[in-house]
Amino acid sequence: MRVGVLALQGDVPEHLGAVTAADPTVTAVPVRDPVDLEPLDALFLPGGESTTMAKLLQLSGLWTPLTGVLSRGLPTLATCAGLILL
């Protein structure tokens, strides 16, 4: 199983490590570009500053692809600003 962690802001290494620590059979991958979304089985949207995250999503070209995978039902866990983005 591949779990993506939105890696635009926040404690990305800590979140990647937490996913792997919870289940060592899971591959945790940073999501920084639209192509990073396609091979995922689940997604984690961590905290940060929501206005900045929204700008970074637009600048990185992730906004539209992210809304696409979310609308198709990709299992997603969101905390703090990640939940605000939803």
In the chain, domain spans: 2-85
Which pLDDT score, from 0 to 100, does residue 45 have?
96
Kindly state the DSSP code that residue 34 receives in the 8-state scheme: G
Instruction: Note the pLDDT tens digit of each residue in 64-84.
Output: 999 999 999 999 999 999 999
Residue segments in the chain with a per-residue pLDDT below the cut of 50: none
5 is catalytic: no
CATH 3.40.980.10 fits 2-85, yes or no: no
**Short-list 45, 48, 40, 34, CA closest to 86:** 45
Write down the catalytic residue from 54, 77, 80, 84: 80
User: CB neighbours of 39 closer than 8 A, spacing ≥ 6?
Assistant: 2
Which pLDDT score, from 0 to 100, does residue 11 have?
87
Which pLDDT score, from 0 to 100, does residue 84 have?
92
pTM of the full predicted structure?
A: 0.93
